[in-house]
Amino acid sequence: MSDQRPVVLVYPGSRARWNAQPWCDLPLDLLSVGSPVARAGYDVQIIDQRLDPHWRDRLLAALRRRPVCVGVTSTTGPQLKHALEVSRTVKDHSDVPVVWGGIHATLLPEQTLERPEVDYVVQAEGERTFLELVAALDQGKSPYAIPGVWKAGQGTAPREFIDLNEEPPLEYGLVDVARYTRTVFGVKRLSFSTSRGCVYPCGFCLSTTVHKRRWRAMNADVAVERIREFTRRFNVKGLFLTDPNFFVDLDRAREILEGVVRNKLDVVFTRLHIRFDALKRLSRQDLDLIVRAGGKCLSMGVESGSPRIRRLMHKEIDECELLEWNRRLRQWPLTPLYFFMMGFPTETVQDLRQTVDLFIRLVDENPRASKSLNVCVPYPGTELYTVAVQEGFRPPASMEGWFDFSYRRLGGGGSWVRPDVQERIEMLDFCSFFVGGGGVAKPFKQTNRLAAMAARAYAPVARLRVRHMIYQWPLEARAAKRLGLYARES
Is residue 300 in some structural domain? Answer: no
Is residue 119 in some structural domain? Answer: yes
Query: What is the extent of the structural domain holding 91?
Result: 6-155
Angle at 235 between CA 229 and CA 238, to 5 degrees: 85
Bridge partner residues of 155 (DSSP):
150
Is residue 64 in some structural domain? Answer: yes
Phi, psi of 289, rounded to the nearest 5 degrees:
-65, -45
Total domains present in the chain:
1
Name the H helices within 339-474.
349-365, 383-390, 419-431, 441-444, 449-467
Is residue 258 in some structural domain? Answer: no
CATH code at 129?
3.40.50.2300
Is residue 135 in some structural domain? Answer: yes
Is residue 13 in some structural domain? Answer: yes
The number of residues in the chain equals 490
Q: What is d(CA 456, CA 194) in angstroms, rounded to the nearest whole number?
A: 37
Contact (Cβ atoms closer than 8 angstroms) between residue 293 and residue 260: yes
Quick one: angle between helices 419-431 and 349-365, nearest 10?
Answer: 20
Bridge partner residues of 73 (DSSP):
101
The answer to pTM > 0.85 is yes
Tell me the pLDDT of the chain (490 aa) as tens digits.
445 789 999 999 987 554 545 578 999 999 999 999 999 999 999 999 999 999 999 999 999 999 999 999 999 999 999 999 999 999 999 999 999 999 999 999 999 999 999 999 999 999 999 999 999 999 999 998 899 999 986 777 788 899 999 999 999 999 999 999 999 999 999 999 999 999 999 999 988 888 888 999 999 999 999 999 999 999 999 999 999 999 999 999 999 999 999 999 999 999 999 999 999 999 999 999 999 999 999 999 999 999 999 999 999 899 999 999 999 999 999 999 999 999 999 999 999 999 999 999 999 999 999 999 999 999 998 999 999 999 999 999 999 999 999 888 888 889 999 999 999 998 998 889 888 754 444 544 455 677 777 778 888 888 999 999 998 887 887 777 776 666 544 3
Is residue 221 in some structural domain? Answer: no
Give the burial string for 20-54 (b: 16+ CB within 10 Å, else e).
bbebbebbebbbbbbbbbbeeebbbbbbbbbbbee
- At 373 the three-state DSSP class reads strand
Is residue 219 in some structural domain? Answer: no
